Structure 1
Amino acid sequence: MARYDGQADWYESINSDPASRNLQPLRDLLGTGTGRCLDLGCGTGAYADVIKESGRTPVGLDVTADQLRHARSRYEGGVVLGDAQRLPFADDSLDAVLAAWISTDVDDFGAVLREIARILRPGGILINYGVHPCFNGPHVQTEGTVRIVHPTYRETGWHHSSPWWSKGGIRSRFGMRHLTLADFWNAMINSGLTVERVIEPDRGDDVPFCLGLRAALPRFE
């Protein structure tokens, strides 16, 4: 059973406001384009419209059937039940991938990136957006707009509790897999994708909560 099964109605009810704060950074990273864009780990479909706005056809994929129940009507390219570490798509078959909040929800982020590189056409792009490894995780305590980084930063892997996670929140319900900044960038370097741009969106915090990037699969002439 996927971790979010049975929780989709609750997740949909609490996620619209947090997700809305990510829309402009995602627009900036996506730019404009054509073809199919996979929304990897699409959840209930919060980012389907921003993909559509870019000129691309959104296709949703999630490992949780319960989430796809909400997402199905939002993706004109359809939705697929599948594992991000073993994507059910042919090589060189997609023009773009949006991976939002994926890095902390999978066992092997490097495997996910390699799968993305496999299914992208040459010149295709990846937009990866989500947790900032330094300032968002089980090692970080938030007090208003201030973040306190505790010395547990190097304790990587799955965390299912933290003294400063709110009870009943997303993290305390589902946990997260923490990566260090080095883990994150080494996975990206080893994927075969070329990073073109990196952002730390300003969402009104003193230090960044999110890390976003645009990468491309090189064209070989």
Structure 2
Amino acid sequence: MAAYDEIARLPIAQADAARLPVPDSSVAAVVSVLAHTDMPAYFAVLREVARVLRPGGVFVNLGVHPCFCGGFADRGDPAAVLVRPGYLDGHWTKESWTDQGIRAKVGATHRPLPALLNAFLDAGLTFDRCAETGAPLPIVLAVRAVNR
């Protein structure tokens, strides 16, 4: 068995997700887990994903459903989650149903689901699968897309 220092490692880079230090068409897959779609440059990040993916490369995005980015979903009663007005108008807000969470402190840029999904297509990615999970309203949105 090889010593820990002898084990091959994947390269690591700390970088802006909208400007990756990776050559064009150089990776087979990109995975994003809980990198919120409410970040200001998320559409630029999608374009960057398409740039670094090989043709036919796969992008998997698993994150919080966009209806929960911002002060739009009141989860004060788990049995009766209320999606407040404002969900569809796409704007930045620090409004939140609780003052204990990060959204109340730093805010969120809400993007309605159609705008978010269309941004994948605009970046050159084609949907392979989408899924929502959670009850009574979806909490997680998962997207698997392929670079054209």
TM-score range, shorter chain: 0.7 to 0.9
Aligned equivalent of 1:174: 106
TM-score (ref. length: structure 2): 0.82
Matched, 1:158 2:92: yes
Question: In structure 1, what is the equivalent of residue 81 of structure 2?
Answer: 147
Q: Which has the higher contact order (CA 8 A, sep 6+)?
A: 2
CA contact (8 A) 2:73 2:84 kept: yes
Q: Report the TM-score when normalising by structure 1.
A: 0.57
RMSD: 1.9
Shift of 1:210: 1.0
Q: 1:132 and 1:93 mapped to 2: Cα distance?
A: 29
Deviations 1:165-190, CA, capped at 9 Å, x for gaps: 341x2323433221111210121110
Give the share of equivalent positions with the same residue, in percent: 38
Q: How many residues align?
A: 138
Unaligned runs of 5+ in 1: 1-75
Greater CA radius of gyration, 1 or 2?
2
Q: Which has the higher helix share?
A: 1
1:107 aligns with 2:37: no
1:186 aligns to what?
118
- Aligned with residue 133 of structure 2, among 201, 205, 220: 201
Helix, strand or coil at the partner of 2:81: strand
Shift of 1:131: 2.2
Rounded Cα–Cα distance in structure 2 between residues aligned with 1:116 and 1:155: 26
Q: How far has the Cα of 1:155 moved from its partner?
A: 4.1
Matched residue SS, 2:47: helix
The 3 A distance-change label for structure 1 pair 174 and 215 is: same
